[in-house]
Amino acid sequence: MSLHEAMLYTRLENKKVKCDLCARRCLINDGGTGFCLVRKNNGGTLHSLVYAKAISACVDPITKKPLSHFNPGALVMSIATIGCNFRCQFCDNWMISQEKAITGHHFPPEDVVKSARDNGCLGISYTYTEPTIFMEYAYDTAKLARQVGFFNTFVTNGYMTPEAVKTIAPYLDAATVDFKGGADPDFYKSCSAVPSVQPIFEALIEMKRQGIHIELTNLIVPKTGDSIEKIAQLSTWIKDALGKDTPLHLLRFHPDFQMTTTSATPMETLEKAYVAAKNAGLNYVYLGNAPGHPAENTYCPNCNELVIKRYSFEITKWNLTKDMRCPVCGHEIPIKGKLHPSGNTHPYALF
Ligand code: SF4
């Protein structure tokens, strides 16, 4: 098993350590592992057990993250290791996020970057499982990627310490931060084994301070995590703390892992949530996992002109001026980067 000394931990007495990467801040005895199972204390030194050990590598359209206002059309090399700091009962990547055996392909940072280039990608995305728990691997890859002109994006549950955000920030261009159940603390406790949601809000504020492009998702889980009131409250927080132009993607749940008897989110619920988020003052609200729905598109918040039409991961119509303005009223639409008409909208796996 390969060992790589961890970032962001504190040595304590009796060879104990405290991990400061995610908000669990695990206290780990000599010989023990943290909650995520991929960080081990060996004689008072904390090691990552998954450095350069990718369980998955895929070429994805950036829309899949989802990132709708960041380099639209670009392809990204997506990588993940096993492990997670959450235990979501509905996880759709549970086979890798909840894997207990340390496993994966040797895929060092330089190979990730080379593979990204060979496959026509413009950036690297650290995704599928929680990138915070493989921070050392992500950090070294992101640094190398930036040197050759690639961008980096995290898809994260946001349960990071402010120190972790500050550490990766110099190389992190964008983050998709995934909420579930309208950020209801009871939902997080019962369905994801997460004691508090507050650290996610703090991490988001730090990301904003660091100038990272942020897009948010919220998974709407029928019955247990579909409160429209909570979605309205979350939307209001987003508007006040991050700004009304922050994109919010409301995601349709589908049955998976330990929640196979819960049915998919009814469209009616998604549409009510959409109205609540818009009424809270957010300019860019999207419905995700709802191919063909008009709320996949971007509309000008000033005159309601359709400016970007999408079907699932595909951009089917681009109706913005070269300086990213609405062609009818001239309102500026916040898009970071530029359009990359790669034409490839089908994810494919390297392994
Ligand atoms: S990253 Fe892992 S070891 Fe570190 S605090 Fe989080 S769960 Fe614990």
> What pLDDT, in 10s, does the model give residues 154-194?
999 999 999 999 999 999 999 999 999 999 999 999 999 99
Of all residues in the chain, the percent with pLDDT exceeding 70 is 98
- Asked whether residue 136 carries a pLDDT value surpassing 90, the answer given is yes
Q: Does residue 143 contact residue 124 with C-beta atoms inside 8 Å?
A: no
DSSP, residue by residue, 246-308: S-EEEEEP--BTTBTTSPPPPHHHHHHHHHHHHHTT-S-EEEES-TT-GGGSEE-TTT--EEE
- Residue 127's CB is within 10 A of a number of other CB atoms, namely 22
Amino acid 343: pLDDT: 62
pLDDT tops 60 at residue 334: yes
Spatial CA neighbour of 81 closest among 21, 141, 129: 129
Q: Whose CA is nearest to atom 6 of ligand 1?
A: 22
**Residues 295-324, mean pLDDT to the nearest whole number:** 96
How far away, in angstroms, is 107 Cα from ligand 1 center? 22
The SS3 call for residue 219 is: strand
| β-strand pairing of 151-156 with 123-126 | parallel
Residues 276-285: pLDDT tens digits? 999 999 999 9
* Helix segments in the chain, DSSP class H: 94-97, 109-118, 135-147, 162-168, 185-192, 198-209, 228-242, 267-279
pLDDT > 90? residue 348: no
Check whether 117 has a pLDDT greater than 80.
yes
pLDDT-derived band at 347 (thresholds 50, 70, 90) equals confident
327 neighbors 319 (Cβ within 8 angstroms): yes
Could you report the per-residue pLDDT of 196-237, keeping only the tens digit for each?
A: 999 999 999 999 999 999 999 999 999 999 999 999 999 999
pTM, rounded to two decimals:
0.97
b vs e for 42-68, b when ≥16 Cβ sit within 10 Å of the residue's Cβ? eeeebbbbbbbbbbbbbbbbbbbbbbb
Residue 64: pLDDT band with limits 50, 70, 90: very high
State the pLDDT at residue 3: 83
Residue 61 confidence class, pLDDT cut points 50, 70, 90:
very high
User: What pLDDT, on a 0 to 100 scale, did the predictor assign at position 1?
Assistant: 57
Please give the number of the atom of ligand 1 that sits closest to the Cα of 132.
1
**Helix or strand holding residue 178 (H, E):** strand 174-180
Whether the per-residue pLDDT at 31 is higher than 90: the answer is yes
Q: Which of 22, 165, 200 to mutate to test the pocket of ligand 1 (most atoms within 8 A of CB)?
A: 22
Residue list, ligand 1 pocket, CB within 6 Å: 19, 21-22, 24-26, 34-36, 39, 85, 132-133
Task: Report which protein residue has its CA nearest ligand 1's atom 5.
Answer: 25
C-beta of residue 174 within 8 angstroms of C-beta of residue 215:
yes
Instruction: Give strand pairing partners of 82.
Output: none
Q: How far apart are CA 126 and CA 105, in angstroms?
A: 15
Average pLDDT score over residue span 324-341: 96
> Strand pairing of 306-311 and 314-318?
antiparallel
Tell me the CA–centroid distance for residue 172 and ligand 1, in Å: 20
Report the chain's mean pLDDT, rounded to a whole number: 96
- Ligand 1 atom at shortest distance from the alpha carbon of 38: 2
